[in-house]
Amino acid sequence: MICIAGKNNIAVEITEYLQVLGYTNICVVLNSTDDGVDSFQRSFKKYALQKNIPIKTLEEVYKIKDLIFLSLEFNKIVAPEKFLTKQIYNIHFSLLPKYKGMYTSYWPIRNGEKTTGVTLHRIAKGIDTGDIIAQEEFEIEIFDTCKDVYLNYIKYGIALIKKYLPKILRNEIICKPQKSNESTYYGRNSVNYQDICIDLIDTANGINNQIRALVFRDFQLPQINGKKVTHCLITEEVSKEKPGTILEEQKWYYKISTIDYNLLVYKDAFEYILELCRLGESEKLQWFIENGYNMNDQNSKGWTPIIVAAYHGQYEVVKRLIEHGVCVNKTNYNGTTPLMYAKDYAFSTNDFKTVQLLFKCGAGISQKDYNNKSLKDYICEQYDDDKFNYFFDKLYQ
Ligand code: TYD
């Protein structure tokens, strides 16, 4: 039997993958925090219930013989000596031996690291201490936020497990001990999210890292002077005023003096950006694009700017967003694609320009949402097969 213990898309997608490979002898252990509702990550509990996969407690799986135990963002410390099996593995979101413990999307950014990565390792007694099986490194880009790094961990973690799953299943794992001299650890109290403050007595780069490390819209945004902020731009102006002085406040940004260079800190404008997309205000949107606002960001429903523009048939906005490089297949938190959103406008107005543009720029038509339904399923459900054929013909016009 294979047990997947954990949460989020990594636990869901690996369980899904095992099922696709034909494994039926699967059970899951859930995190206590999983409330069964999809958010920016899918709920593993909801998935397991939907697919009728047996849900067990950790105490129950300890006693299963011939078990493979895979911990994927599992939030309990497991006791390897209690298992009847030796095949117990974890994916840790860092390049072990560095960044053992928690907040591994926060600390590498805060510390100005240029890269981080994921580690597949055996679970030993202790926190993230077991022998290393494999690692995959990725870059932390200069504008990456905590959420970007976390989503990369999920993506690279899924790929690493898929790569090593055949070896895990055949019990052909080779591993090596962790080096002691490079090991670091951050515990539960190393970040206090209830009392976030940005220390403005820092270099421009330091403040930038503090802000990026806290930007995770689904949890919080950092604040300066009572206003939520999302990103910074380091100017070439040498700071002459006392560090931390607010030199200028404009509607969407502050200019702040620091230990070295003046810094532009931009205020959160995401709801306004979605409004501009709804209304088709592409010229006004341009200022936000040019000033570094994240056009792939998502609100609490997972709506991106392109989803909102597509739903309202705002062709010019969709075009501008695509030219800027946004992802045309990024879904909302139910797996609904921009093209699925665009179809209603197309049918109600018989204006297929936005649909055609999305398709031409790489929007997938066979992608399924989390209810396992594709665009075709929805069109056929709502209308009929002829309507889908009509839609399909329009794509190629
Ligand atoms: P979490 O899933 O709790 O895992 P971990 O602490 O082991 O990384 O959190 C994922 C990331 O989300 C974490 O690395 C930092 C960030 N985060 C916040 O920004 N705010 C919060 O309140 C929490 C709990 C996490």
- The model's confidence at residue 311, banded by pLDDT at 50, 70 and 90, is very high
- At 324 the pLDDT is 97
Could you tell me whether strands 115-122 and 88-92 are parallel, antiparallel, or unpaired per DSSP bridges? antiparallel
| Start-end of H helices in 23-83 | 44-50, 58-62
Q: How many distinct helices (H) and strands (E) make up the chain?
A: 14, 13
316 class by beta-carbon count within 10 Å (0-12 exposed, 13-18 middle, 19+ buried): middle
Query: Residue 170 pLDDT > 90, yes or no?
Result: yes
Give the integer Cα–Cα distance in Å for 321 and 296.
Answer: 9
Q: Is 308 helix (H, G, I), strand (E, B) or coil?
A: helix
Give the integer Cα–Cα distance in Å for 318 and 326.
Answer: 9
304 lines ligand 1 (CB under 6 A): no
Ligand 1: distance of its center to the CA of 105 in Å? 7
- The model's confidence at residue 195, banded by pLDDT at 50, 70 and 90, is confident
Which residue among 73, 103, 223 has the greatest number of ligand 1 atoms within 8 angstroms of its CB, and so is best to mutate? 103
- The model's confidence at residue 19, banded by pLDDT at 50, 70 and 90, is very high
Rounded mean pLDDT of 6-25? 96
Ligand 1: distance of its center to the CA of 116 in Å? 16
Ligand 1: distance of its center to the CA of 217 in Å? 12
Domain span(s) for CATH 3.40.50.12230 in the chain: 2-188
Which residue among 71, 105, 148, 154 has the greatest number of ligand 1 atoms within 8 angstroms of its CB, and so is best to mutate? 105
Q: What is the CA radius of gyration of the chain?
A: 24
Q: For ligand 1, atom 9, which residue shows the shortest CA distance?
A: 103
- At 234 the pLDDT is 98
Closest CA to 192 of 224, 209, 214, 211: 214
107 lines ligand 1 (CB under 6 A): no
- The model's confidence at residue 23, banded by pLDDT at 50, 70 and 90, is very high
Residue-wise pLDDT tens digits, 114-138: 999 999 999 999 889 999 999 999 9
- The residues that bridge with 246 in the sheet, in sequence order, are 256
Ligand 1: distance of its center to the CA of 219 in Å? 8
- The model's confidence at residue 385, banded by pLDDT at 50, 70 and 90, is confident
150 lines ligand 1 (CB under 6 A): yes
Q: Which atom of ligand 1 lies closest to the CA of 104?
A: 14
39 lines ligand 1 (CB under 6 A): no
Which residue among 71, 106, 185 has the greatest number of ligand 1 atoms within 8 angstroms of its CB, and so is best to mutate? 106
91 lines ligand 1 (CB under 6 A): no
Query: CATH fold of 2-188, please?
Result: Rossmann fold (3.40.50)
Domain span(s) for CATH 1.25.40.20 in the chain: 270-395
Angle, vertex CA 295, rays to CA 46 and CA 370, nearest 5: 20
Give the integer Cα–Cα distance in Å for 103 and 202.
Answer: 22
The rounded percent of the chain whose pLDDT value lies above 70 is 100
Give the integer Cα–Cα distance in Å for 95 and 73.
Answer: 15
219 lines ligand 1 (CB under 6 A): yes
Residue-wise pLDDT tens digits, 318-364: 999 999 999 999 999 999 999 999 999 999 999 999 999 999 999 99
Give the integer Cα–Cα distance in Å for 273 and 109.
Answer: 26
Rounded mean pLDDT of 82-96? 97
Query: Residue 384 pLDDT > 90, yes or no?
Result: no
Q: For ligand 1, atom 13, which residue shows the shortest CA distance?
A: 103
Q: Which atom of ligand 1 lies closest to the CA of 101?
A: 7
Rounded mean pLDDT of 166-171? 95
Ligand 1: distance of its center to the CA of 214 in Å? 10
Q: Which residues contact 78 (CB under 8 A, 6 or more apart)?
A: 5, 58, 69, 71, 88, 123
Residue-wise pLDDT tens digits, 145-163: 999 999 999 999 999 999 9
Please give the model's pTM, rounded to 2 decimal places: 0.96
Residue 179 corresponds to which tokens in the numbers above?
A: 């080096």
Q: Which atom of ligand 1 lies closest to the CA of 105?
A: 14
Query: Residue 196 pLDDT > 90, yes or no?
Result: no
Give the integer Cα–Cα distance in Å for 13 and 18.
Answer: 9
Query: CATH fold of 270-395, please?
Result: 1.25.40
102 lines ligand 1 (CB under 6 A): yes
Rounded mean pLDDT of 274-300? 97
Mean of pLDDT over the chain: 96
Query: Residue 397 pLDDT > 90, yes or no?
Result: no
187 class by beta-carbon count within 10 Å (0-12 exposed, 13-18 middle, 19+ buried): exposed
Q: For ligand 1, atom 23, which residue shows the shortest CA distance?
A: 219
